Amino acid sequence: MVIFPEHRYYGESMPFGSREEAYKNAFTLAYLTSEQALADFAVLITELKRNASAQSCPVILFGGSYGGMLATWMRLKYPHLSIGALAASAPILQFENIVSPDTFYNIVSNNFRRESVSCFNTIRESWDVIMSLGMTNTGLSLLSKTFHLCGELKSAEDLSNWLDSAYSYLAMADYPYPADFLMPLPGNPIKEVCRRMDSLPNGTNILQRIFEGISVYYNYTGTVNCFSLDDDPHGMSGWDWQACTEMIMPMASNKNTSMFPAFEYDYKSDEEYCYKSYHVTPRPTWITTEFGGHDIKTALGTFGSNIIFSNGLLDPWSGGSVLENISDTIVALVTERGAHHLDLRAATAEDPDWLVDQRASEVKLIEGWLNRYLESKRVNFLPLQSV
């Protein structure tokens, strides 16, 4: 039996009767936490087992990204309810200073540089051009026109954020075949972005190159006439709340290694944003207090079992995940050419061999957990059978 539970406050799982009521303010949003989500799943698993008279039936958890973090934490917090977890692209170490805050943007940048150094340089040089134009109304108008925006651009920063998102999501969705994860995209979309940027004739304006490239992300189907920057196409406002309370993941861009504008992690500005948005103050050390993270090897190694951390190194979140085996039963499966939880996507005829192999390794590990569990149950049943 396969169950897809929906996380509270997302999709149709709204408390207080409606999305509007649930998202009203910090008092109604207070119940949107990872701990409450885990408790929901605990109740769900327990009730399902009870209703199906399947108390001894082993449960395996699967999750990607935040879902993979939840799967890991579920294994940590509710070890009695499952026998193992596949945590795909789960950045459980992307908190406090456990990994460098540069990690995410370094990986995105390396992905572009690997495809094409000139593409990487075009992007790196574009930010100053955008910033300069953003200083005058004429410049903002020119930017609006170049990037086919539906309305007038209000600040260069809005455009930069829009481009930043595209590059980051392209790295996450850098799959080896056409897919529609965040947006409809071709296979190896970063290669396609760089191909388009690089193939424009010499002397082409740098912003024209950027627009051609970014259109792979925002308009691969070619059906968009103009772009709106302030859309929230992925319905992420639940995540915005979570990022303002528990999920404080420090990010920075290193001037030597990143193609993005350099910036240091600025907790204060997060704090101000969150107070302005929700009248809450983030708790940046809460996740590691609740779920660990520092010295993860000791904690999970001595008090944990049966977790697969799968990661593709093209995925910018991979830097915040577990990339080395922690124990015999807590193992890392790393693929060089995988992106964000590619292994959890449905199998396709276009899957490369290394992806087929990765999934086979996962199945084999899970079969091992199941066999050991069923073996232990058989031993337990013996005394009864021999009566």
Q: What is the DSSP string of 81-113?
A: T-SEEEEES--TT-STTSS-TTHHHHHHHHHHH
Please state the closest distance from residue 188 (CB atom) to its own copies, in A: 39
With CB under 8 A as the contact rule, the residue among 55, 138, 202, 385 that binds its own copies is: 55
In the complex with its own copies, the residue whose CB is nearer, 54 or 236, is 54
Active site residue 340: yes
> How far is C-alpha 378 from the geometric centre of its chain's CA atoms?
40
Q: How far is the CB of 39 from its own copies (least distance, A)?
A: 7
Tell me the C-alpha distance between 282 and 248, whole Å.
7
Closest CA to 90 of 115, 119, 61, 114: 61
Active-site residue 295, yes or no?
no
Scanning 78-86, 119-127, 193-201, 264-272 for contacts with its own copies by CB under 8 A, the matching segment is: 78-86
In this chain, which of 376, 378, 381, 382 binds its own copies, going by CB under 8 A? 376
CB of 283 to its own copies, least distance (A): 9
- 168 Cβ partners below 8 Å, 6+ apart? 104, 105, 108, 316
Give the nearer residue to its own copies in terms of CB position, either 90 or 163: 90
User: Quick check: is 279 catalytic?
Assistant: no
Decide: is 288 part of the binding site for its own copies (CB under 8 A). Answer: yes
Least separation in angstroms between CB 305 and its own copies:
6
The H-or-E segment that residue 331 falls in is strand 330-335
Interface pick for its own copies out of 292, 316, 319, 320 (rule CB under 8 A): 292
- Contact between 25 and its own copies by CB under 8 A: the answer reads no
Q: Which residues pair with 332 in a beta bridge?
A: 309
Q: How far is the CB of 76 from its own copies (least distance, A)?
A: 7
CB of 328 to its own copies, least distance (A): 13
Binding residue (CB under 8 A) for its own copies from 77, 114, 124, 337: 77
Other CB atoms within a 10 A radius of the CB of residue 324 amount to 10
304 binds its own copies (CB under 8 A): yes
Q: Judged by CB under 8 A, which of 10, 15, 26, 46 binds its own copies?
A: 46
Query: Per CB under 8 A, does 250 bind its own copies?
Result: no
Query: Quick check: 302 binds its own copies (CB under 8 A)?
Result: yes
CA distances from 256 to 80, 118, 168, 249, 260 (A): 47, 16, 18, 21, 10
Radius of gyration of the chain (CA): 23
Three-class SS state of 154: coil
Active-site position among 315, 318, 343, 351: 315
Contact status, residue 246 vs residue 283, Cβ threshold 8 Å: yes
Cβ proximity to its own copies, 56 vs 204, nearer residue: 56
Rule CB under 8 A: say whether 80 interacts with its own copies: yes
Specify the 3-state DSSP secondary structure of 184: strand
Decide whether 224 or 382 has the Cβ nearer to its own copies.
382
Handedness of CA 170, 173, 179, 180 (dihedral sign): negative
Nearer to its own copies, 292 or 320 (CB): 292
Per DSSP, 219 falls in state -
DSSP result, 353-380: HHHHHHHHHHHHHHHHHHHHHHHHHHHH
Give residues in contact with its own copies (CB under 8 A): 35, 39, 42-43, 46, 55-56, 75-81, 285, 288-296, 298-299, 302-305, 376
Active-site positions read 65, 315, 340
